[in-house]
């Protein structure tokens, strides 16, 4: 009997010892933080990591009291990378980790309100992605995006749960709304509806329909990337007619100058991996999607769907190129004055920071309606593709034609 108790105590000792070395008592940090931010501590204690980590593993030990809060470290990707090398490296090789690069490359970012960017109440709320080094941030952290680290975007702090990150809602906070309504599209389309109905009525079989993660993070791969990208401009292009439309778009993006020669912005496109720049690169990204679809659908069915989604981009580009050229004509003829140091061409990357109504319409046609036309096609939401996308592009084009005509007449009357 005594021997059994001894055995039991020894195994208990090892069990506790192995699963939570030195973490038996409540840490100093927790003792105080249970008063400062009680639910936060509870969240952490419920998570998997509380079994073997404590607050200091991510926040360091420099801050010990209310008087030295500024010394608390805020984790960056490298903090998690130390223990989760695979996920961190996959993540860093994907598109998310370039979110800040894309934001800072935009010509008008520095003109936005500070609260909007550094204060993370606008663009900066979603784009503070890819800061790897705690120190780089820590050195000036009150100014340079004080909060916002990548891994918690799907694994919210301090639960850091795998289950939570695997649900499609984990993507919703950013992939929704005006220019990237993937959440609305998916959740209203067959895949999302089938997934969510099954999650409620037959949870064990919910994965008969795909989630965002099924298609974009197959096998839990944290390297998230698409073939077309946000702007849907790839190079080279075999279809000559389509390439004609694309050239107008690339000029309006400032990647080509009005004569069609590459500008320094092409380097930005490369650095931010904004577009696939070889056929091989495009094909490799596309293949990953097709392979996933084929787990549930036949090859012909998948090919048919991909081909027609691609064609929707071409249809959208046809309307958009005409609109760009009308506005470019107004620049060429001096009806819209060119901006200092800028070519006589519309610049789509200025988004809404434009001076004329016609350019506001062009911006909406680009960011809102063209996006919805093709994003809806890939996400099987025919309502978005039609009524919020293609139909609106037609309306934009009519408006742009009429407004341009009127601007020309006004100029004749009041030169
Ligand atoms: C004696 C109380 C006390 C102790 C001990 C303490 N903290 Fe804090 N800590 C605070 C208070 C109070 C704040 C909030 C300050 C504010 O927001 O005004 C804070 C803030 C923080 C922050 C946020 C910092 C920021 O930049 O916003 C982190 C992270 C943190 N503590 C981690 C820890 C860790 C890790 C430990 C243990 C090594 C610890 N704390 C120990 C009181 C304490
Ligand atoms: C696995 C890493 C990890 C551990 C362990 C951890 N945190 Fe955090 N903590 C984070 C991350 C990530 C952030 C968000 C940083 C950012 O936004 O840049 C954060 C932010 C904070 C903040 C500031 C933001 C807020 O919501 O108030 C406080 C305070 C904080 N942690 C306290 C704690 C305390 C107390 C513990 C221990 C019970 C703890 N943390 C354990 C990763 C961790
Ligand atoms: C000191 C090592 C260490 C650090 C640093 C660390 N983790 Fe962990 N993490 C672990 C261990 C141990 C587990 C539990 C066993 C496992 O799942 O690998 C875990 C589990 C996880 C899980 C799975 C939880 C679940 O529900 O199954 C996630 C997600 C996670 N960590 C995210 C993070 C993030 C994000 C960071 C950085 C903010 C981080 N970890 C930092 C060691 C660490
Ligand atoms: C609600 C979150 C959110 C806000 C706010 C936001 N973005 Fe984005 N942004 C995203 C998402 C998500 C994507 C990727 C969408 C896609 O690929 O369909 C993206 C993509 C981009 C891209 C394209 C990156 C590329 O390489 O293709 C740029 C540039 C960009 N955003 C700039 C901005 C600017 C400038 C602002 C503020 C005026 C802003 N964003 C506001 C979430 C946001
Ligand atoms: C875009 C959303 C997203 C982001 C951002 C994200 N993760 Fe994950 N993570 C997931 C999903 C989804 C899973 C579950 C994958 C699966 O089902 O196998 C997961 C799983 C994990 C796991 C558990 C792996 C396992 O098999 O047990 C760890 C650890 C982890 N992530 C760490 C991280 C770290 C570290 C970062 C930041 C570099 C990060 N994640 C960023 C979505 C994300
Ligand atoms: C059935 C698979 C599938 C599901 C589910 C899915 N997507 Fe997609 N998604 C795709 C395909 C296919 C593309 C286009 C890939 C390409 O460029 O070849 C795409 C493209 C994207 C893009 C790039 C811009 C665009 O829309 O074309 C983003 C961002 C995106 N998806 C996010 C999401 C989010 C967020 C969810 C969930 C709310 C989701 N997707 C659900 C298959 C899926
Ligand atoms: C914190 C906001 C945020 C969350 C949460 C988020 N994303 Fe993103 N996502 C972005 C931003 C911003 C970009 C554009 C990055 C860039 O500028 O390079 C992006 C890009 C993408 C792209 C690549 C589009 C391209 O250009 O190739 C896909 C696909 C994508 N996200 C899918 C997802 C999925 C799936 C989830 C959930 C599992 C998710 N995202 C969660 C903000 C987010
Ligand atoms: C995990 C399995 C799974 C994956 C992966 C998957 N699908 Fe589906 N898909 C389904 C189910 C289930 C349905 C609903 C069956 C039905 O149409 O009644 C469906 C329906 C569809 C439909 C019919 C939509 C409608 O409105 O009627 C299309 C088109 C489709 N999928 C295309 C794709 C494409 C393209 C991919 C890859 C990008 C893909 N699916 C990936 C399971 C999947």
CATH no. for residue 230?
1.20.850.10
Nearest CA to ligand 6 atom 3: 215
pTM of the model: 0.95
Same domain as 238, residue 134: no
Q: Is residue 98 part of a domain?
A: yes
Same domain as 127, residue 272: no
For a ligand 2 pocket test, name from 20, 45, 58 the mutation site with the most ligand atoms within 8 angstroms of its C-beta.
58
**DSSP conformation class of 123:** H
Same domain as 379, residue 289: yes
Q: Is residue 193 part of a domain?
A: no
Same domain as 348, residue 268: yes
Consecutive H or E run containing 51? none
Q: How confident is the model at residue 26 (pLDDT cuts 50, 70, 90)?
A: confident
Same domain as 232, residue 153: no
What is residue 21's predicted lDDT score, i.e. its pLDDT? 45
Task: Please say which residue of 135, 158, 181 terminates a domain.
Answer: 158
Q: Is residue 217 part of a domain?
A: no
- Which ligand ends up closest to the CA of 231? 4
Q: 352-388 pLDDT, tens per residue?
A: 999 999 999 999 999 999 999 999 999 999 999 999 9
Asked whether 378 lines ligand 6 (CB < 6 A), one says yes
Per cent of the chain over pLDDT 70 is 92
Biggest CA–CA distance in the chain, Å, is 108
Same domain as 241, residue 107: no
Mean pLDDT of 292-301: 98
Nearest CA to ligand 1 atom 16: 69
Same domain as 144, residue 230: no
Q: 48-90 pLDDT, tens per residue?
A: 999 999 999 999 999 999 999 989 999 999 999 999 999 999 9
What is residue 135's predicted lDDT score, i.e. its pLDDT? 67
Task: Please say which residue of 136, 158, 180 terminates a domain.
Answer: 158
What is residue 141's predicted lDDT score, i.e. its pLDDT? 47
Exposure on the CB side of residue 115, measured as CA atoms within 13 A: 1
Same domain as 153, residue 239: no
The alpha carbon of residue 377 and the mean position of all alpha carbons in its chain are separated, in whole angstroms, by 18
Mean pLDDT of 394-403: 98
How many domains does one find in the chain? 2
Contact (Cβ atoms closer than 8 angstroms) between residue 260 and residue 251:
yes
Nearest CA to ligand 8 atom 10: 209
Same domain as 266, residue 148: no
Task: Please say which residue of 122, 137, 158 terminates a domain.
Answer: 158
Asked whether 59 lines ligand 2 (CB < 6 A), one says yes
- Which ligand ends up closest to the CA of 183? 6
Same domain as 406, residue 318: yes
Q: Is residue 190 part of a domain?
A: no
Find the Cα–Cα–Cα–Cα dihedral 350, 356, 357, 363, rounded to 10°.
-20
Contact (Cβ atoms closer than 8 angstroms) between residue 334 and residue 248:
no
Q: 125-165 pLDDT, tens per residue?
A: 999 899 888 766 555 544 567 788 999 999 999 999 999 99
Q: Is residue 50 part of a domain?
A: no
- What value, to the nearest 5°, has the Cα angle with vertex 225 and ends 224 and 227? 160
What is residue 143's predicted lDDT score, i.e. its pLDDT? 53
- Which tokens belong to 91? 């993540």
- Which tokens belong to 96? 């998310």
Q: How confident is the model at residue 414 (pLDDT cuts 50, 70, 90)?
A: confident
Asked whether 148 lines ligand 7 (CB < 6 A), one says no
Same domain as 231, residue 132: no
Which residues form the domain of 97? 58-63+70-158
């Amino acid at each position: 009997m005594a021997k059994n108790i001894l055995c039991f105590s020894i195994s208990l000792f090892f069990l506790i010892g192995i699963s939570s070395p030195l973490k038996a008592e409540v840490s100093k940090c927790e003792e105080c933080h249970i008063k400062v931010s009680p639910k936060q501590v509870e969240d952490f204690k419920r998570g998997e990591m509380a079994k073997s980590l404590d607050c200091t593993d991510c926040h360091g030990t420099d801050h010990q009291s209310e008087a030295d809060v500024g010394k608390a470290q805020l984790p960056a990707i490298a903090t998690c990378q130390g223990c989760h090398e695979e996920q961190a490296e996959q993540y860093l090789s994907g598109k998310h980790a370039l979110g800040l690069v894309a934001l800072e490359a935009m010509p008008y970012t520095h003109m936005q309100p500070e609260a909007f960017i550094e204060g993370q109440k606008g663009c900066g709320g979603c784009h503070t992605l890819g800061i790897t080094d705690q120190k780089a941030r820590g050195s000036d952290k009150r100014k340079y995006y004080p909060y916002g680290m990548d891994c918690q975007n799907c694994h919210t702090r301090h639960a850091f749960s795998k289950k939570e990150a695997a649900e499609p809602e984990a993507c919703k906070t950013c992939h929704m709304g005006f220019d990237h309504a993937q959440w609305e599209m998916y959740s209203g389309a067959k895949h999302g509806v089938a997934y969510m109905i099954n999650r409620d009525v037959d949870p064990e079989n919910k994965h008969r329909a795909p989630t965002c993660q099924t298609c974009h993070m197959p096998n839990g791969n944290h390297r998230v990337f698409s073939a077309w990208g946000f702007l849907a401009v790839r190079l080279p292009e075999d279809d000559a007619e389509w390439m004609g439309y694309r050239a107008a778009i690339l000029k309006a993006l400032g990647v080509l100058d009005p004569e069609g020669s590459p500008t320094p912005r092409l380097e930005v496109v490369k650095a931010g991996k904004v577009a696939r720049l070889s056929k091989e690169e495009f094909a490799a990204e596309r293949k990953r999607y097709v392979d996933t679809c084929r787990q549930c659908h036949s090859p012909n069915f998948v090919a048919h769907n991909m081909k027609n989604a691609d064609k929707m981009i071409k249809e959208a580009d046809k309307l958009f190129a005409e609109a760009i050229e009308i506005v470019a004509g107004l620049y060429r003829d001096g009806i819209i004055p060119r901006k200092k140091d800028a070519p006589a061409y519309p610049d789509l990357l200025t988004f809404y920071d434009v001076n004329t109504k016609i350019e506001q319409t062009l911006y909406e046609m680009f960011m809102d309606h063209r996006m919805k036309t093709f994003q809806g096609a890939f996400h099987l939401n025919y309502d978005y593709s039609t009524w919020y996308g293609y139909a609106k592009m037609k309306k934009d084009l009519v408006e742009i034609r009429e407004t341009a005509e009127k601007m020309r007449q006004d100029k004749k009357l009041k030169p």
